[in-house]
C-alpha cells in the first residue's frame, strides 16, 4: 500500500515538472489563458498531494481486523518494549491506555491488586497474554511522569509494564482519545477488539460484561470476537497540543 502511494507521489512530482516546462511555453503565447490553466493545474496537484498525505495517514492508523501499528516505547523502569517482538514470540497482546489520576482508570485498580485490570492480567498470563499499559500524556500534563506511574504500578500491584508515550505518537496511531481505551491484538498482530474494558460507563462500579475477557477468550479459542468494538468512556488523553487525534 505504502509503495503504491509513494509511486503515485513520484508520478505527481514528475507531472509537475513536465507541466511547468510546457506552461512556460504557453505563457509567452497566450498569457491570460495560460495563467488560468496553470492555476487550475496547481489546484489539481494540490488536491492530489492532499489525497496522498491523507492516504498515508490512514494507512498508519489502527483498524479492527487490520494489522496493529508497530511501536517501540520505554517503560517506567527504563526497559524497551517493541510490539512486534511480542507478536513474534507468539503473544496475545492487550494494550490499555492508562492515566493513574483518571477516576475511570482507578476504578479498575486497588491496593490489594484485585482490580478488574490486574485480575484479568493475572488470569490470562498463563495463556500467553501480555498486558501493556500506555500513558500518552504529555510531560506538561503531569500525568505521564516516570516516577508517578511507577509509584502507582507498585501501589496497585501491577505486574506488567507501564510504557511512556509523552509525544503521543503511539496514542495517535491507535486513535486513543480516552483512558482507559483497550485493544486486544492476536498472535498474528491483528486488532481483534477495541473499546471499553467493561460494559459500565461510570467510574464507580464494574460492568456486568467484561468486554476484554470475552475478547481474549474468543481470540485464544481461535474464534471471532462477537463484539469487536465498543465505545470507550473515560478521561481525555492528555496529549501535547499538537498531537490530538481528530474525528
pLDDT tens across 17-72, in order? 434 444 454 545 566 776 777 677 677 766 654 543 443 344 456 799 999 999 99
8 has pLDDT over 50: no
Does the residue 232 lie in any domain? yes
Quote the number of domains for the chain: 2
pLDDT for residue 37: 72
Which residue has better confidence, 207 or 218?
Answer: 218
Identify whether residues 101 and 14 lie together within a single domain.
no
Q: Which are the contacts of 93, defined by CB distance < 8 A and separation ≥ 6?
A: 68, 83, 86, 87, 129, 130, 131, 132, 183, 184, 185
Instruction: Label residue 22 left, alpha or beta by phi (over 0 means left) and psi (-120 to 50 means alpha).
Output: alpha
What's the distance, CA 127 to chain centroid? Answer: 24
Identify whether residues 45 and 118 lie together within a single domain.
no
pTM: 0.75
Identify whether residues 99 and 205 lie together within a single domain.
yes
Identify whether residues 98 and 210 lie together within a single domain.
yes
Identify whether residues 51 and 114 lie together within a single domain.
no
DSSP-H helix ranges across 136-231: 146-155, 169-174, 211-220
Q: What is the CATH number of the domain that holds 224?
A: 3.40.30.10
pLDDT for residue 59: 43
Q: Which are the contacts of 150, defined by CB distance < 8 A and separation ≥ 6?
A: 76, 77, 162
Identify whether residues 6 and 81 lie together within a single domain.
no
Cα→Cα distances 176→63, 123, 170, Å: 12, 25, 9
DSSP at 139:
G
Residue 187: domain span = 72-243
Identify whether residues 20 and 133 lie together within a single domain.
no
In whole angstroms, give the CA distance from residue 61 to residue 49: 19
Nearest to 148 by CA among 164, 159, 168: 164
C-alpha cell at 15: 507531472
Amino acid at each position: 500500500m505504502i509503495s503504491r502511494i509513494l509511486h503515485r507521489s513520484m508520478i505527481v512530482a514528475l507531472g509537475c515538472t513536465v507541466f511547468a516546462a510546457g506552461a512556460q511555453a504557453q505563457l509567452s503565447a497566450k498569457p491570460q489563458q495560460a495563467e488560468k490553466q496553470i492555476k487550475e493545474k496547481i489546484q489539481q496537484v494540490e488536491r492530489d498531494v492532499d489525497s496522498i498525505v491523507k492516504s498515508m495517514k490512514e494507512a498508519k492508523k489502527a483498524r479492527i481486523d487490520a494489522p496493529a501499528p508497530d511501536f517501540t516505547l520505554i517503560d517506567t523502569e527504563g526497559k524497551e518494549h517493541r510490539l512486534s517482538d511480542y507478536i513474534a514470540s507468539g503473544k496475545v497482546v492487550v494494550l490499555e491506555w492508562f492515566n493513574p489520576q483518571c477516576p475511570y482508570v482507578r476504578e479498575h485498580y486497588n491496593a490489594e491488586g484485585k482490580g478488574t485490570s490486574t485480575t484479568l492480567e493475572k488470569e490470562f498470563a498463563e495463556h500467553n497474554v501480555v498486558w501493556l499499559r500506555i500513558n500518552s500524556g504529555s510531560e506538561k500534563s503531569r500525568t505521564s511522569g516516570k516516577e508517578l506511574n511507577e509509584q502507582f504500578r507498585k501501589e496497585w500491584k501491577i505486574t506488567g509494564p507501564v510504557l511512556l508515550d509523552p509525544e503521543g505518537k503511539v496514542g495517535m496511531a491507535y486513535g486513543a482519545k480516552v483512558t482507559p481505551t483497550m485493544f486486544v491484538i492476536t498472535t498474528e498482530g491483528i486488532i481483534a477488539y477495541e473499546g471499553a474494558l467493561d460494559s459500565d460507563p461510570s467510574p464507580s462500579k464494574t460492568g456486568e460484561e467484561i468486554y476484554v475477557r470475552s475478547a481474549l477468550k474468543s481470540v485464544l479459542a481461535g474464534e471471532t470476537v462477537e463484539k469487536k468494538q465498543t465505545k470507550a468512556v473515560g478521561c481525555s488523553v492528555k496529549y501535547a497540543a499538537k498531537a490530538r487525534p481528530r474525528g
